[in-house]
Amino acid sequence: MRQTLSKLGAAVVLAGLLVGCRPHLTQANVDKIRDGMSPAECKAILGAPTETGTREVPLLGKLDRLTYKEGQSEVNLLFYNDKLQIKSVDLK
């Protein structure tokens, strides 16, 4: 019984690692990203960004940048007041 539980636990951990390793920067996922989406909505699709940046622009508001990198592929998302304005995609 104990050995069966140990094998089951190892299988669950391995499955979690495999799911966590799947690429998020696919054309299908990038196509789901639309102008006007919030950073949270984009993160729900693409996962955690590899880089972020925020800047307050006087009289204009907040600019946020999310950058995603996987291998040689890169996606940059620029938000103005929490709404996606620019999507730059370079998938390889």
Across 56-65, average pLDDT: 90
Residue with the two structure tokens 């996922």: 29
Please check whether residue 7 is in contact with residue 15, taking contact to mean a CB–CB distance below 8 angstroms: no
pLDDT at 40: 97
Which residue segments constitute the domains of the chain, with CATH numbers given?
24-90 (3.30.1450.10)
Distance CA 50, CA 35 (A): 21
* pLDDT higher at 19 or 68: 68
Express each pLDDT in 9-56 by its tens digit: 554 444 444 445 556 899 999 999 999 999 999 999 999 999 999 999
pLDDT at 60: 82
pTM of the model: 0.73
CA angle 43–49–50, rounded 5-degree value: 170
